[in-house]
Structure formats: structure tokens, C-alpha cells
A and B are shown apart, each in its own frame.
Chain A
Amino acid sequence: MSVEPLDAAAAQDHLEMVNRILAESQQRLCSGGEHFVVWGIGSAYITVLFQLVHEALLPSAAAWSVPVVIAACAAFSIVRGRQTRRVLQRSSLLQREFFNVLWLTLGLAFVVDVAVFNIFPGLAGAAIWSVAEAIVLLYIGMHGNRRAQIAGVLVIVSLVVANFASPGIAGYVLGAGMLVGYAGFGASELLARE
């Protein structure tokens, strides 16, 4: 291959182009807002449900809806993930890592709630979901997404407030954190994409 060697001006021009392209390729999610909305609503539902059962406002049989909700959220993420991959025009490295972190943290939270519920009974199990969600949000925030940083902090604040709130409302506080922080972040991502 015979190519003319570059002079300093051309090298400068090439480097400027590279810097511009790299600056424009923000480390952002190319899709995924809908996953946050679904998991945020699902986890808030589970947390509030346990609170209502604990307060005897709902029969304990209502807890059987929990595995159904988790399975529905997981099914949505799997189907939607495959669907978007088919039509998406680009996928950032952050997008790929985000899904890895999402599945790891939600999988661990699921194990905590299902397999080790004696160690994390009641609100502790619900709080694990908040911790998992805060990890996902702050991970995305670490890559420069300001909305994710704010949402992650909101989820953590809800954890702290729930810790000091009376046991009668702690579950609602955690649920509100999941709705505002996790589902809210998803909604803001969807709006920003449009």
C-alpha cells in the first residue's frame, strides 16, 4: 500500500478529528430507560406490598404475586432487550456494561429475597433492592450521566430516611425511592432520547 506520509499540519488535522469524534461519542445509554421504569415500578410494588401485608392491610396470600411480578419484569427485559438489539443503530460500551451490571445486581437481589430471606427478613430484603438499584445508577453515573448520579443519590437518601422512619412507613419510603430514583431515571432517559 503506497500512502503519502503525513506532515505536521495533516497530523494535527487528523488528531483534531479524532478528538472531536471521541468528545461527541458520549458514554451514554443508547436504550434502556424502559428497563428502569419497569424494574422501578416492580420493586416498589413488592416493597409496598410487603409493608401492607406486614400492617395486615392485605392478606398474606397477596405475597404470591411477588414471583409473578419479578418473572414479568425479567420477561420484559429479555424480550425488550432482544427487540431493541434488532433495530438499534448503535450500542455503546456503557450500554453493554450496563446490562451486565443490571443482571448481576438484580440477580443477587433476587437470591437475597428468595434464598436467604432468614438473614434479610422483611424490610432488609426490600432494602437490598434499593442497594442494588443504587449500584446500577451510580455505575452509570460514574460514566458521566448526571441524571443517574442524582437518581442514585435519591435512592440512597430514601434508604437512610427509611432507616430512621417509623416501621409503619419505612416500606413506603423505600418504595418512593425506587419509584422516584429508579423508575424516574428511566422516564428521564426515555424523554431525553426523544
Chain B
Amino acid sequence: MDELLLSKVRLGIVAELLNFDWIAFSELARSLDVSNGNLGAHLSKLVDAGYVEEEKSFANRRPLSRYRLTKRGREAFASHVAELQSLLTATS
């Protein structure tokens, strides 16, 4: 299994990003119901691993961070979910 995605928050982030071109930081925090600090720490790990791409800009003079899933992140997610399903099948 992908150790990075064993964290429920990081798995949730990747799942949230799956059907979206990109999502803003504040929207991710709202959807996942996690604090900004917690989300930021998990996002950094995903960005460092190349699973998520970060884009920083300004909107109405306010900083805006957007995140999108990379091809690597998409593949890691698919393979991790398949392994979770195999684990369940094996134990049932």
C-alpha cells in the first residue's frame, strides 16, 4: 500500500481532487472539515511527493492557492484503492 495515502486526511484530499481540474485551499478545508494548519501540512507532503501540484496567485488582492492532482497522484490513488479493496476481499 502507498504509505502516503494511509493517512485518512491525505487520502481524502486526493479523492476530493479526483473529479476536479483544481480546488482552492479554503474550499478543500471546508469540504474535508479540517483546520488550515492540518490541511497545509498534509498538502505539503502530497506536493513534495509529486502527487499534487500547487499554484499560488492573487484574487482580489488576496493570496489564493489552488491544487490539482498530478498523473502520478492519480495512479497512486487508483493503485492504493485497489489494494484496500483486495485487503477487504481477502479478509471477508
Residues of B within 8 A of A57 (CB): none
Residues of B within 8 A of A22 (CB): 15, 18-19
Residue of B nearest to A86 (CB): B59
Q: With A15-B84, A17-B12 as given contacts, are A25 and B19 in contact (CB-CB < 8 Å)? A: yes
A8 lies within 8 A of B87 (CB): yes
B88 lies within 8 A of A21 (CB): no
In this assembly, does A166 line the interface, its C-beta being within 8 Å of a C-beta of chain B? Answer: no
* Segment from A32-40, A68-76, A90-98, A119-127 that makes contact with B: A90-98
B88 lies within 8 A of A15 (CB): yes
Within 8 A of A (CB), among B30-50: 31
A93 lies within 8 A of B81 (CB): no
In this assembly, does A79 line the interface, its C-beta being within 8 Å of a C-beta of chain B? Answer: no
A87 lies within 8 A of B60 (CB): yes
In this assembly, does A18 line the interface, its C-beta being within 8 Å of a C-beta of chain B? Answer: yes
Q: State the CA gap A18–B16 with chains docked (Å).
A: 8
Q: State the CA gap A96–B31 with chains docked (Å).
A: 21
In this assembly, does A59 line the interface, its C-beta being within 8 Å of a C-beta of chain B? Answer: no
Q: Which of A1, A14, A17 contacts B4 (CB under 8 A)? A: A1
A25 lies within 8 A of B18 (CB): yes
Interface of B is mostly: helix
Q: Which of A8, A15, A90, A95 contacts B81 (CB under 8 A)? A: A15
B12 lies within 8 A of A12 (CB): no
Q: State the CA gap A92–B12 with chains docked (Å).
A: 17
In this complex, the interface size class of chain A, counting residues with CB under 8 Å from chain B, is: 20 to 34
Q: With A8-B87, A11-B88, A15-B88 as given contacts, are A92 and B3 in contact (CB-CB < 8 Å)? A: no
How far is the CB of B69 from the nearest CB of chain A, in Å?
A: 10
Q: Which of A8, A17, A86 contacts B11 (CB under 8 A)? A: A17
Within 8 A of A (CB), among B6-29: 6-8, 11-12, 15-16, 18-24, 26-27
Q: State the CA gap A88–B24 with chains docked (Å).
A: 8
Within 8 A of A (CB), among B53-92: 57, 59-60, 64, 81, 84-85, 87-88, 91-92
Q: Which of B15, B22, B26, B64 contacts A18 (CB under 8 A)? A: B15
In this assembly, does A163 line the interface, its C-beta being within 8 Å of a C-beta of chain B? Answer: no
17 contacts between A and B (CB under 8 A): A4-B6, A5-B1, A8-B92, A11-B84, A13-B8, A14-B8, A15-B81, A15-B88, A21-B18, A25-B18, A25-B20, A90-B24, A91-B22, A92-B19, A92-B20, A92-B21, A93-B19
- Residues in chain A within 8 A of chain B (CB atoms): 1, 3-6, 8, 11-15, 17-18, 21-22, 25, 27, 86-93, 95-96
